[in-house]
Structure 1
């Protein structure tokens, strides 16, 4: 279990599901629907939902591309962490938010699979969190023109390697949306 003492709780971490991030993304509507289902379930079960929102030269704070997609509406009491780097922990208040909630286990969803999602997964694991990726609730855009694999291969590869990720005293893995159990999911 988590190496973080006195942190028995799980949180759903929603990374960068913003208009400008998921516009044209692989299976965008399916992924957003899965994220919405998980947000609904987490709220019903009293599991904290923590939102992460990226800003940069293209995602200008307050602009339409920067906004979280209209299908997802953070509740007023749910923490929203703004970030400037791929890893959602880097130079943000995410760690203190999670500590305040007693969270040692994260269920991660969002975008971009090959950038902020991967960075955040690794950032969480090295910081001591049990970290589960929801296999059908993350996406990325097509970057094949720059030599990257097609988006479906990026998603599949990320699911494959995260399923087998290990670290001393921590768990990692993947799970499908329908199989997420916030009470037992690492």
Structure 2
């Protein structure tokens, strides 16, 4: 039910699954494997896969830690959007890429749950996209040293509140990897 006109397509949006982001992430291998399975499913079904890659003072563009984790390989024809802010739409080409693909519905996976994934979900919803979070295909690092809850609680809380997120004319929600359906439903 996206509010974006003439945008009937769905895309898998892979946010910041970079070596330096997920190296120590909670349940890293399971999450990366789930993302890999979704990438393969999307490709098999002809669904666009759009990759997002963050850079900042800790993730230097072109450096080893900046690269997509080696288990996942963006296809040559798959768009890669570089960003410098949490919201993947902020000051990037993401909107142009999605518009060109006719995308109004996003299936979101990646890292980090409590930063770029949340920011991107909210950014998508306020821009008129339907935004579904894959509940077992996003992760974060342990930030308890700075007062955050443990990673499993951060992930559980994000899944809980995104399940019930609403906005006029748009849909949100969560789904497990095994239940992802890339077909648009109304």
TM-score normalised per structure 2:
0.99
Determine the C-alpha separation between the residues in 2 that align with 1:152 and 1:166.
Answer: 24
Q: What residue in structure 1 maps to residue 9 of structure 2?
A: 9
The alignment yields a C-alpha RMSD, in angstroms, of 0.8
Q: What residue in structure 2 maps to residue 33 of structure 1?
A: 33
Look up the SS of the partner of 1:65 in the other structure.
helix
Look up the SS of the partner of 2:65 in the other structure.
coil
Q: What residue in structure 2 maps to residue 42 of structure 1?
A: 42
Structure 1 residue ranges (4+ consecutive) displaced by more than 3 angstroms after TM superposition: none
Determine the C-alpha separation between the residues in 2 that align with 1:103 and 1:62.
Answer: 29
Q: 1:23 Cα deviation (Å)?
A: 1.0
- Contact 1:9/1:104, CA 8 A, preserved across alignment: yes
- Contact 2:111/2:117, CA 8 A, preserved across alignment: yes
Q: What residue in structure 1 maps to residue 72 of structure 2?
A: 72
Residues 20-169 of structure 1 correspond to what in structure 2 (within 5 A)?
20-169=20-169
Structure 2: tracts of 5 or more residues without a match? none
TM-score normalised per structure 1:
0.99
Look up the SS of the partner of 1:122 in the other structure.
helix
Q: 1:185 Cα deviation (Å)?
A: 6.3
Determine the C-alpha separation between the residues in 2 that align with 1:24 and 1:185.
Answer: 36
Determine the C-alpha separation between the residues in 2 that align with 1:184 and 1:9.
Answer: 7
- Contact 2:22/2:140, CA 8 A, preserved across alignment: yes
Residues 103-125 of structure 1: CA deviation (Å, up to 9, x unaligned): 00000000000000000000000
- Contact 1:107/1:185, CA 8 A, preserved across alignment: no
Q: How many residues align?
A: 186
